[in-house]
Structure 1
Amino acid sequence: MKYVKPLALTFIICSFLSVIALAALYFYIRPELPSVAMLKDVRLQTPMKVYSRDGLLISQFGVKRRIPLELKNIPEPMLQAFLATEDSRFYDHPGVDIIGVARAFMNLVLTGEKGQGASTITMQLARNFFLTREKAWMRKIKETFIALHIEQLLSKDEILELYLNKIELGHRAFGVGAAAQVYFGKTATELNLAEMATIAGLPKAPSNLNPISNPQASKERRRVVLARMLDEGYINRDEFLQAAEADFTGEKHGAEIQLHAPYLADMIYMEMINRYGKEEAETAGYQVYATVPSTLQTAAQQAVKRNLHDYDERHGYRGPLAQLWEAPPAIQKDDEKNDQSLVEVPRPEDEQYGWTEQQMKDFLAEQQSFAPLLPAIVTEVKDKQISVFALDQGYIDINWDGLAWARPFITDSKQGSEPQEAKDIVSPGAHIMIRFNTESEQWQLSQFPDASGALVSLDPQNGAVRAIVGGYSFYQSQFNRATQAKRQVGSNIKPFIYSAAINKGYSLATIINDAPINQWDRSSGIAWRPKNSPEIYDGPIRMRVALGRSKNVVSVRLLRSVGLDDIVAHLANFGFNPHELPRDESLALGSASLTPLEVARGITIIGNGGYAVEPYFIERVDNEMGETLWQANPAVAAPAFASQQENNELDLLAISDGRKFSLPPLYAPQVISRQNAFLTREMMRTAIYSGGSWSKNTYWQGTGWRANNLMSRDDLAGKTGTTNDAKDTWFSGMGGNLVTTTWVGFDDMNRSLGRTSRNQYLINKNPQQFNWMGNAMVGAEDGARVAQPAWIRFMRQALEGVPEQYPTVPEDIVTVRIDRTTGKLTQRTDHTSKFEYFIRGTEPTQYVDDSEFVDPFDQGQPVIQNEDIF
């Protein structure tokens, strides 16, 4: 007993001194300890996700990949795997595990090294939020005090949930949700036991133990986790053995992109940065919903790509990207001539030359592909067939239908002779591009198109972007031609010029002289002679017909009559910057440079009754919990009549302090009258539906007649556009609930889209589409041949099942019967007359005189025009 009391006293004194020392240490470092109160409302750094209007994932932005999960949504075996491996007494200790500390201390005493840590899950959480991973005594002490504070503030489940969402797990994956997606391409609930154990083994060394960087070490660590789960009784022996021996399939997965629309995603990303700043946009977990439905975006991308391939292929094949090996020539001795003559002879089947399959795989793995194009290598050439090798596809046979288009490209306006055999096109060892043609359902030889294209489709009632394509491939060029490329618009400017004329009292029946113009320019010493294309001049012509036929000289005469200043002022109503418009008569022919989005926005005003809606492409922004933070509230086109307003009320939402409430509709400013918009649209309809009777020699075609032939709808209206030397081609039009603009040209503005010669193979392949769409076109390229096919392909698919929508005839619009030739009133009801729309007060008052009357039936064959040019 004599030793007990001293020992007890010593123990009490030491304990008391330890408490005092610990308290002193706490108060000493307390000013350096962070407040843990922020953990109650912690906002984890979560990447921004961009979705289509119908909820398909388009893209994800942010350095850190995180998919926050509530504890109830994390599988129980995964929770058990983390607890067994990282902190088996988590629910029993107050944030610091005394047993773990004692074990670490004994290891230090025995080895002299700090090889084992005593960190609990709470302490790891403290380190992850507030400290570094540095192995230092002071950091460990701070970690301990912070962990004790956390345990006082949060429940055990809250701590565990934060930990599993915060922890770094390698390859920029933070939290178990992101790790499941990155390593296995699954959600957390889809993982099996082996995969859960793999993820649970990562916290110790995420860079070295992950299944991508070090598969073998990751597999060994998985076994350790499973053994701990077995020891803790979470799994039985059979489950342990099955999971421990499971195949190791970890590989890197990106975000599960469901709709590839990178140009749209980039637009939304830049807009979000402008609104919130880069850091918040990339880390606040915003879920951004675009105005674009996935079906329309997919249709637009396919239309642009197919159209560019059609243009590119009718201009010829530019040859393989490289020749990787040459087939050795066969040498055969001619004894009679006693010389060595090179002749082609079959080579033995067992004689090898060229590259091995592994060499081809290694080469192709380093080549960039741009969907739908795939890099490939020609391995065999037969008479009218080739065999190619492509990564992930293996060996593919391409028959003559996939080759015969490839006559040589010489210049943009000249092509070589049609190939007769496959050897005229490629040889073994050629590095080429191939693509799967979805229309013919077969593989074919291909190439990356030289020309570029763009498409913009808007809802004319509110300006919502329904589809947007900025080029063939965002990964080849991030330049968004739909929003950034200012190109000359050619005849796409004419609807706006004609609208200005209507504003000045002109009517659809006004007669304008379609005759050559010769204007001497004293300053330059040359004459300006705008020309029609083709160079056919019809003399006096009605304004409706002039727009339908895209008569250039008529457009110039209208500009002169209205006045350049008034034309510029009127064009400004359509959103075109008046300071960027040329101040000369070339404006009437489309010398102005505009983006496809600007043109489409201008056309919406014609399509919606005269209201200047603003294009927008973000429908709403939600937080990571799906709560709406911002909802678009665009100004819309007003209903046609006041009586319709109640039926057109918009169910819009605004967000204020988290509360949703309805908003009354905001009406866009009206910049042209309904009557003007209606009549301008009517003239644009003429470009598609033409007019007259073939049997009575009154028939003629507008420049957009192909849309009528290929689309069985009666509510279409449009306008082609071609600039000088066909450097830019356009088609803009409307139908159903959409306004769409397409553009095709070269990024190099010095290049012309040129012309094509006859390719009999393409004509035979598409006899029904000869000179309508596709590759079979012959002659000079223009808006109708180059840009319009993309418009037709997109609109045909976009409007499938959409009812035809005709504009309501505005008040003060009247119809009278006119003479087709003079535009005057007539009492005839035959082919020489037609009903025409007029704004009340502008209709003709005189009847056609017998001396003026002309019967087209007596004049011979009608003139059919289908081209236009600036």
Structure 2
Amino acid sequence: MSWVKKLLIVCLVGFFAGILTIVAMYFYVRNDLPDVATLKEVKLQTPMQVYTADGQLISQFGEKRRIPLKLDEMPPLLIQAFLAIEDTRFYEHPGIDIIGIMRAVTVVASSGDFSQGASTITQQLARNFFLSREKKIMRKIKEVFLAFRIEQLLSKDEILELYLNKIELGHRSFGVGAAAQVYFGKTVDELTLDEIAIIAGLPKAPSTLNPIRSPANAKNRRDIVLTRMRAINVISEQDYRTALAAPITSKLHGAQITASAPYIAEMVRQQMVERYGEETAYSEGYRVYTTIHSQHQHAAKQALQQNLYNYDERHGYRGAVAKLWKSELAEQTGTPEDTYPEQEQQPVFTEEGRPEHAEIINYLTKQQGIEDLFPAVVLTVYNNSADVLLASDQIVTLEWDGLKWARAFITDERQAVAPKSAAATLAPGMHILVRQQDEQWRLSQVPAASSALVAINPENGAIQALVGGYSFSQSQFNRVTQAKRQVGSNIKPFIYSAALEQDYTLASIMNDAPIHQWDDNAGIAWRPRNSPPVYDGPIRIREALAKSKNVVSVRLLRGVGIDESIRHLQRFGFAANDLPRNETLSLGSASLTPLELVTGYAVFANGGFLVTPFIVDRVLNEQDEVIYQHLPEIACTECQTTAASDDELAAAEPEQAGDSEQQLYELFNTMQQTESAPADDPGVESEPEPATPILAEQVISSQNAFLIADALTSSVWGGGDWAKGTGWNGTAWRVQRLKRRDISAKTGTTNDSKDTWFSGFTTATAVTTWVGFDDANRSLGRAQWHANMGQDQSAGTESGARTALPAWLDYMTKVLPDYEQQPMQAPTGLASVRIDLASGLLSRSTDHTSSFEYFKIGTEPTQYSQNSVQQIHFDNDKKAEPDESELF
């Protein structure tokens, strides 16, 4: 009995000693323990997400990938998997698991190995929020005390929810929501049992157990999780066996992007970092809604890329990416050595003959495609087709329609003869690029030329679509906002606008004849020429603009004066240092970005107002509160009491200005309701109180804007009477395909076709496209006649109409149905007068020799071509409706 008493005393002493030790340790570390009350208001770092106006995800930015979820949003099986492997007694212990601790102590005492874990989920939460991961006794002691505090502060469900959202799971994913997306491209409710087990097994060592880095390790850990789940009867035997047999199929997934607009995403990222700072912008879970519509953006990207493919095909095939093995066909035909000498290289596979199928697939899986181009290897070449192998182990056939374009590229100006068979272009063993077009596979290549497309709302400057190049992954240089290129004839509407501010009208007669001017400084004569070099003699300004007559533009610049012309062009937002102070300005030697140019064209579209382009509509925080709302400057012709001149606008009566302010406020509220709110944004329950709208500066009179816009409709529809032999086309006649009378447009081409442009607008949208090489010294060249293409081709020198217009036309074909046809209404202060088409004077004729023309009141012609009564119709609401025979 004495032995039992001594043992009891020793136990009691040990017990009290343990208690005292724990108390002592608590007092020793308590000053170092953080305040766990912060968990009540914890704010998990979440990435910034960028959306279209209709709620489609464009991109997300942030070091940590996290998709916060409520506990009831997580599948029960997922929760049970984590509990099974991490903390089976989670809902029973007070924050620490005594059994687990004793097991770990035993292992340490017997082997000195600290790898045995004993941390509960509560302890892991404490470590993740407040402590490091180093395996030291003092850290473990702090962890225990923090776990007790957390259990007193939070409920078990709150602890588990925080843990499952906070835990690091590899590849910058934090929380189960992000892990499901990163590893499987799914939401948590879409995960299968084996995928759940993989994710539940990650907390122990996310860098080495994740299925992307080490599928074998991930499988072993998954099987352990499944075994634990089966042991505690969370899953059935059948489910257990099925999950064990499932292969590891994980791959790295990005965010679930539903709208491809990387150039826009980068613009937004830069603005957000500038406004909020990098750390805040990337971690506060901001949701940024842009002004673009996903369908319009998709149409813009497709139009730009297809146009570049078309240009590339016109100029020839530059050869295969690589040669994998030498083939008898290549030796017999001389392909690719003789046809594409620049592609001469040693075969990837050195052995003679075709390698094993698996080797080819292994090679292809390591190759990178770009955009919609897929790497492929030629297996068999027939007379007019070829079989190629894709990385997906799919064999597809390139039919003759997808091959016949591929004559060899020689220079930008020259192409080889058209191929007569597939063997003239391809040989087995070639690594090529292919794409699908109209459900047909087609030989392709990465375009050598570059392009840009931008569309804005003329009423407020909202960017509706923007594509800064062929591929953001290829080049992050945004040609819409960063590339200043010579604009060519796209400058002419602004030169003509300056002329209308002087004594010129659309009916003024100019001499379309060659100019020869001696330059004393250069010692040579300057001879600007029309393109093509055709001269019509006396010509009305309307017709000269529609036909893009170079010499008329030069003469107008001379009439207005260079200094006055530059001052006028600056009204459109063009910087003075981008406008050369010489007569080449009239031909487009000014260098502007596509965004600057389209903003200038928007002035004609909206009645004379200079709007400021913007891409961010509003920013919401994690609580769905609007923390930033862009307030655009609005073009509002109705808000002006008169549009006769800028001086008259400035002299408006106070009472009239008050009415204008009310009109502007009503217009702003209407635009906010119809354009700002995304269709798929459930976060905003009610509209914020509208701020006071801002009126954009009116930089030219509404009459001037209307006259230029109306003249540019003649660029589309031409004029004259074809039946009488007087018909003529404007440079944008291809736009007639859209069958709309509310489109104004202008082509643009620089010397040697180094830059090609097309700009066009309606009252609802203004769009500019540019095509050229990033090397500003390289010409787009010309495409020679292609025997295989027949009439289905575009041969000749590249130009705005041939090279840039097709992308604009393709885009507008898809988006214009969203905008009601609405011809621009003539403002007050204009007179509609019937004139003689040959002289620009008044006419009493009603046949093909005359037509109605608009004039600012007071600038109408006072003479007429025949002895008749002068006919002038003042129409403040709309253009007079002449007979069809009288239309330009």
- TM-score strictly above 0.5: yes
- Seen in structure 2, the aligned counterparts of structure 1 residues 820 and 223 have a Cα distance that, compared at 3 Å, is same
Q: Is the 8 A contact 1:736 1:802 kept in 2?
A: no
Which residue of 678, 681, 694 maps to 2:706? 678
Q: Which residue of 2 is the match for residue 517 of structure 1? A: 515
Which residue of 571, 581, 584 maps to 1:583? 581
**2:237 is the alignment partner of 1:220:** no
- Seen in structure 2, the aligned counterparts of structure 1 residues 540 and 850 have a Cα distance that, compared at 3 Å, is farther
Q: What is the rounded CA distance, in whole Å, between the counterparts of 2:277 and 2:97 in structure 1?
A: 42
Secondary structure of the structure 2 residue equivalent to 1:376: strand
**2:744 is the alignment partner of 1:717:** yes
- Matched to 1:227, the amino acid is T
Q: What is the rounded CA distance, in whole Å, between the counterparts of 1:436 and 1:245 in structure 2?
A: 36
TM alignment of 1:311-460, pairs within 5 A: 311-328=311-328, 353-392=353-392, 394-438=394-438, 441-460=439-458
**Identity percentage of aligned residues:** 53
Q: What is the rounded CA distance, in whole Å, between the counterparts of 1:239 and 1:759 in structure 2?
A: 63
1:772-824 superposed Cα distances (whole Å, 9 cap, x missing partner): xxxx1222211101000111011011112532022221111120111111111
Q: Is the 8 A contact 2:326 2:352 kept in 1?
A: no
Which residue of 596, 607, 612 maps to 1:598? 596
Q: What is the rounded CA distance, in whole Å, between the counterparts of 1:471 and 1:544 in structure 2?
A: 34
1:599-652 superposed Cα distances (whole Å, 9 cap, x missing partner): 111111110111111111122222345443322221111153659657634254
**2:182 is the alignment partner of 1:182:** yes
Q: Which residue of 2 is the match for residue 648 of structure 1? A: 667
Q: What is the rounded CA distance, in whole Å, between the counterparts of 1:161 and 1:413 in structure 2?
A: 66
**Equivalent pairs, count:** 819
Q: Which residue of 1 is the match for residue 605 of structure 2? A: 607
- Seen in structure 2, the aligned counterparts of structure 1 residues 551 and 659 have a Cα distance that, compared at 3 Å, is closer
Q: What is the rounded CA distance, in whole Å, between the counterparts of 2:720 and 2:860 in structure 1?
A: 21
- Seen in structure 2, the aligned counterparts of structure 1 residues 327 and 659 have a Cα distance that, compared at 3 Å, is closer
Secondary structure of the structure 2 residue equivalent to 1:650: helix
Q: What is the rounded CA distance, in whole Å, between the counterparts of 1:695 and 1:568 in structure 2?
A: 42
TM alignment of 1:431-830, pairs within 5 A: 431-438=431-438, 441-624=439-622, 626-640=624-638, 648-650=667-669, 652=672, 660-708=688-736, 710-735=737-762, 737-764=764-791, 766=792, 776-830=793-847
Secondary structure of the structure 1 residue equivalent to 2:389: strand
Q: Which residue of 2 is the match for residue 346 of structure 1? A: none
Q: Is the 8 A contact 2:361 2:393 kept in 1?
A: no
- Matched to 1:108, the amino acid is V
Greater displacement, 393-402 / 685-694:
393-402
- Seen in structure 2, the aligned counterparts of structure 1 residues 425 and 13 have a Cα distance that, compared at 3 Å, is closer
Q: Is the 8 A contact 2:634 2:668 kept in 1?
A: no
CA shift for structure 1 position 499: 1.1
CA shift for structure 1 position 232: 3.5
Q: Which residue of 2 is the match for residue 846 of structure 1? A: 863
- Matched to 1:436, the amino acid is Q
Q: Is the 8 A contact 2:329 2:428 kept in 1?
A: no
- Matched to 2:848, the amino acid is H
Q: What is the rounded CA distance, in whole Å, between the counterparts of 1:790 and 1:176 in structure 2?
A: 43
- Matched to 1:243, the amino acid is A
Q: What is the rounded CA distance, in whole Å, between the counterparts of 2:564 and 2:393 in structure 1?
A: 61
Structural RMSD (CA): 2.6
CA shift for structure 1 position 8: 6.2
Q: Is the 8 A contact 1:85 1:201 kept in 2?
A: yes
CA shift for structure 1 position 40: 2.0
- Seen in structure 2, the aligned counterparts of structure 1 residues 686 and 183 have a Cα distance that, compared at 3 Å, is same
Q: Which residue of 2 is the match for residue 60 of structure 1? A: 60
CA shift for structure 1 position 5: 7.1
Greater displacement, 23-32 / 489-498:
23-32
Q: What is the rounded CA distance, in whole Å, between the counterparts of 1:460 and 1:329 in structure 2?
A: 58
Q: What is the rounded CA distance, in whole Å, between the counterparts of 2:859 and 2:462 in structure 1?
A: 35
Greater displacement, 611-620 / 95-104:
95-104
TM-score under structure 2 normalisation? 0.88
1:496-533 superposed Cα distances (whole Å, 9 cap, x missing partner): 11111112242111222222222222122111111111
Greater displacement, 544-553 / 803-812:
803-812
Q: What is the rounded CA distance, in whole Å, between the counterparts of 1:79 and 1:203 in structure 2?
A: 14
- Seen in structure 2, the aligned counterparts of structure 1 residues 754 and 41 have a Cα distance that, compared at 3 Å, is same
Q: What is the rounded CA distance, in whole Å, between the counterparts of 2:421 and 2:79 in structure 1?
A: 65
1:275-309 superposed Cα distances (whole Å, 9 cap, x missing partner): 22222222222222221111111111111111111
Q: What is the rounded CA distance, in whole Å, between the counterparts of 1:199 and 1:510 in structure 2?
A: 77
Greater displacement, 639-648 / 806-815:
639-648
Secondary structure of the structure 2 residue equivalent to 1:570: helix
Greater displacement, 557-566 / 491-500:
557-566
Q: What is the rounded CA distance, in whole Å, between the counterparts of 2:215 and 2:408 in structure 1?
A: 50
- Seen in structure 2, the aligned counterparts of structure 1 residues 157 and 454 have a Cα distance that, compared at 3 Å, is same
Q: Is the 8 A contact 1:650 1:664 kept in 2?
A: no
Q: What is the rounded CA distance, in whole Å, between the counterparts of 1:549 and 1:190 in structure 2?
A: 60
TM-score under structure 1 normalisation? 0.90
CA shift for structure 1 position 715: 0.8
- Matched to 2:780, the amino acid is L
TM alignment of 1:230-269, pairs within 5 A: 230-269=230-269
Q: What is the rounded CA distance, in whole Å, between the counterparts of 1:414 and 1:91 in structure 2?
A: 78
- Seen in structure 2, the aligned counterparts of structure 1 residues 233 and 443 have a Cα distance that, compared at 3 Å, is closer
Q: Is the 8 A contact 1:639 1:648 kept in 2?
A: no
Secondary structure of the structure 2 residue equivalent to 1:761: coil
Q: What is the rounded CA distance, in whole Å, between the counterparts of 1:323 and 1:847 in structure 2?
A: 75
Q: What is the rounded CA distance, in whole Å, between the counterparts of 1:255 and 1:330 in structure 2?
A: 44
Q: Is the 8 A contact 1:814 1:837 kept in 2?
A: yes
CA shift for structure 1 position 26: 2.5
Q: What is the rounded CA distance, in whole Å, between the counterparts of 1:258 and 1:690 in structure 2?
A: 42
CA shift for structure 1 position 124: 0.4
- Seen in structure 2, the aligned counterparts of structure 1 residues 353 and 582 have a Cα distance that, compared at 3 Å, is same
1:71-114 superposed Cα distances (whole Å, 9 cap, x missing partner): 11011121122122212222233322233222322333344433
Extract unaligned runs of 5+ from structure 2.
Answer: 333-350, 640-659, 677-682, 869-888
- Matched to 2:576, the amino acid is P
Q: What is the rounded CA distance, in whole Å, between the counterparts of 2:86 and 2:282 in structure 1?
A: 30
- Matched to 1:679, the amino acid is L
Q: What is the rounded CA distance, in whole Å, between the counterparts of 2:243 and 2:216 in structure 1?
A: 15
Q: Which residue of 1 is the match for residue 877 of structure 2? A: none
Secondary structure of the structure 2 residue equivalent to 1:67: coil
Q: What is the rounded CA distance, in whole Å, between the counterparts of 1:397 and 1:37 in structure 2?
A: 66
Extract unaligned runs of 5+ from structure 1.
Answer: 333-350, 767-775, 852-870
Secondary structure of the structure 2 residue equivalent to 1:415: coil
Q: What is the rounded CA distance, in whole Å, between the counterparts of 1:489 and 1:241 in structure 2?
A: 68
Q: Is the 8 A contact 1:736 1:804 kept in 2?
A: no
- Matched to 1:714, the amino acid is R
Q: What is the rounded CA distance, in whole Å, between the counterparts of 1:320 and 1:77 in structure 2?
A: 51
Q: Is the 8 A contact 2:330 2:428 kept in 1?
A: no
TM alignment of 1:287-298, pairs within 5 A: 287-298=287-298
Q: What is the rounded CA distance, in whole Å, between the counterparts of 1:222 and 1:369 in structure 2?
A: 33
1:707-726 superposed Cα distances (whole Å, 9 cap, x missing partner): 11x21111111000000111
Q: What is the rounded CA distance, in whole Å, between the counterparts of 1:285 and 1:714 in structure 2?
A: 46
Greater displacement, 737-746 / 641-650:
641-650
CA shift for structure 1 position 664: 3.6
- Matched to 1:362, the amino acid is N
Greater displacement, 561-570 / 91-100:
91-100
Q: Which residue of 2 is the match for residue 97 of structure 1? A: 97
Q: What is the rounded CA distance, in whole Å, between the counterparts of 1:669 and 1:144 in structure 2?
A: 66
Q: Is the 8 A contact 1:639 1:645 kept in 2?
A: no
Secondary structure of the structure 1 residue equivalent to 2:50: strand
